[in-house]
Amino acid sequence: MNKIKPHYANLIIGFGKGGKTLAAYLANHGQEVALIERSEMMYGGSCINVACIPTKSLITSAEEKIPYQQAYKIKNDLTSFLRKQELEKLTTLSLATVITGNTSFISPNKVRVKLNPNMEEVDIQADRIYINTGTQPFIPPISGIDSSKKVFTSASIMGKSVLLKHVVIIGSGFVGLEFADMYAKFGAEVTVLDSEMSFLPNEDPDIAEEIFKVMTSKGTRIFTGVAIESIADTNKDTVTIEYKNKINAPQKLEASAILIATGRRPVTEDLNLSTAGVQTNSRGYIQVDEFLKTSVPHIWAIGDVNGGPQFTYISLDDFRIIRDQLFGGEYNSVKKRKLFATSVFITPQMSHIGLREKEAVAKGFSVKVARLSPGSVPKARILNNTDGLLKTIVDSNTNKILGCTLFCNDANEMINTIQTAMNAGLDYQQVRDAIYTHPSMTEAFNSLYSSI
């Protein structure tokens, strides 16, 4: 690696998707850049090490009926390969320097880095600074949670090389549902406890009901309206969780482990942001304007830490916005960002873009709604999975697609077609009458939009 210098034109704190892509781009375009990451085990960012990639690897192995311990090795081999690959992408660039250590601001233009592993301190000054430190799991204030050795986060639970017999998951957001479905497919007993009074309250009721039906049919137990009272390790193998149900009746549950999936919080506490004059909101996220600039003009915040949508592809899009500011492009503001889809990698996948039916109605749209069972799609029968529901919302006055939710095999790929159509402003008939390969899940759009 290149020798650390006291001054750089560009300094990036955090090895996440947006930061590492920006670092490579700057170095390839003649600008010197240093990228600081606090742990060598996080080279490449959270996605490839403890989030998107390893979880999807385990999910795929579970679907393929690969035993857990073998799946665990496959996951570790993959993340190790990707971590090395991402590091080499930068260390082979003459203008890029990767530094491992903990960073804190000592002025708006200068940071102090405690180098790992020897904790030697170096001060680095930079003309432009980009904060890309991401988020980490939020741990709610539950009695006994800090002292328990059986409580895990989405990152730490993937370090378990042996399949847990009974996992209790607190929270039924994207992360909670993915882990619930994955562990159930590996053969574990799974219980989901959620504080919301109804399951997936942000989704349309028909979609939420279908997901609930499919997940519970596999043996996953889901309880809503739960208030967690306490957590206590029973013995070396089990943990007890006490809670109250919807009718406020005390309940007790014993499990092998508890996974906390109650949201995330920004990784900013050690940065000493106040010294730099960087402002945060009430939840600790760095406040940025439409150009992703902080309250300090030469400091930007990229990815999850800026409080925007917490997806790797949004962090990548943040890079594009900053790139065009620095190099004179037109895509220089979040206001220019178009619609984007989201996916939950349960089986089958659930993907969504745009407005849900209830949201469209609340906004005053006159809508046409179409639904389709995957069972009518030949490819779904070939794949031997006809679970789910496809649903789309169309503006009755303009024939534009307002939203689409796909709960079916390959939904995470199919939704990209709808995203392209919506961002191009196409009428639904153009999706309806398109020629799709056969047999494919995408040709379901011929039938779905024919029923409008």
In a domain, 2, yes or no: no
Neighbour-count burial for 373-392, b at 16+ CB within 10 Å, e otherwise: bbeebebbeebebebbbbbb
- Residue 129 and residue 159 in one domain: no
* Domain housing 378: 342-451
Residue 2: pLDDT band (50, 70, 90) is confident
The total number of structural domains that make up the chain: 3
Q: End of a domain among 280, 304, 336? A: 336
C-alpha 118/C-alpha 100 separation (Å) is: 10
Residue 241: pLDDT band (50, 70, 90) is very high
Percent of the chain with pLDDT over 70: 100
Neighbour-count burial for 41-76, b at 16+ CB within 10 Å, e otherwise: ebbbbbbbbbbbbbbbbbbebbeeebebeebbebbe
Tell me if residue 7 is catalytic.
Answer: no
- Residue 373 and residue 288 in one domain: no
Q: What is the length of the chain?
A: 452
In a domain, 290, yes or no: yes
Contact assessment for residue 197 and residue 246, using Cβ atoms and an 8 Å cutoff: yes
Q: End of a domain among 316, 336, 356? A: 336
Contact assessment for residue 286 and residue 278, using Cβ atoms and an 8 Å cutoff: yes
Q: End of a domain among 276, 301, 336? A: 336
Taking only the tens place, the pLDDT of each residue in 60-81 is: 999 999 999 999 999 999 999 9
Residue 41: pLDDT band (50, 70, 90) is very high
Q: Is 1's pLDDT higher than 80?
A: no
- Residue 402 and residue 305 in one domain: no
Average of pLDDT values for 115-127? Answer: 94
C-alpha 225/C-alpha 194 separation (Å) is: 6
pTM of the model: 0.96
Average pLDDT over all residues of the chain: 97
In a domain, 186, yes or no: yes
Burial class (CB in 10 A: 0-12, 13-18, 19+), 211: buried
- Residue 331 and residue 347 in one domain: no
CA R_g for the chain: 24
3-state secondary structure of 226: coil
- Residue 253 and residue 273 in one domain: no
In a domain, 170, yes or no: yes
Taking only the tens place, the pLDDT of each residue in 366-416 is: 999 999 999 999 999 999 999 999 999 999 999 999 999 999 999 999 999
In a domain, 191, yes or no: yes
Contact assessment for residue 15 and residue 97, using Cβ atoms and an 8 Å cutoff: no
- Residue 87 and residue 175 in one domain: no
Q: Is 179's pLDDT higher than 80?
A: yes
- Residue 185 and residue 301 in one domain: no
In a domain, 425, yes or no: yes
- Residue 110 and residue 203 in one domain: no
- Residue 275 and residue 213 in one domain: no
- CATH number, domain of 107, equals 3.50.50.60
Q: Is the peptide bond before 439 cis (omega within 30 degrees of 0)?
A: yes
For 197, the token pair is: 């009074």
Alpha helices of 29-144 — where are they, by DSSP H? 46-49, 52-63, 68-91
C-alpha 241/C-alpha 226 separation (Å) is: 12
| Contacts with 307 (C-beta within 8 Å, 6 or more apart), sequence order | 266, 281, 283, 285, 286, 287, 288
C-alpha 68/C-alpha 58 separation (Å) is: 8
- Residue 30 and residue 120 in one domain: yes
Q: Which of 29, 166, 352, 438 is catalytic?
A: 438
In a domain, 145, yes or no: no
C-alpha 154/C-alpha 200 separation (Å) is: 19
- Residue 232 and residue 270 in one domain: no
Question: ∠363-368-374 over CA atoms, to 5°?
Answer: 115
In a domain, 143, yes or no: no
CA 17 and chain centroid, separation: 12
- Residue 330 and residue 346 in one domain: no
Average of pLDDT values for 128-138? Answer: 98
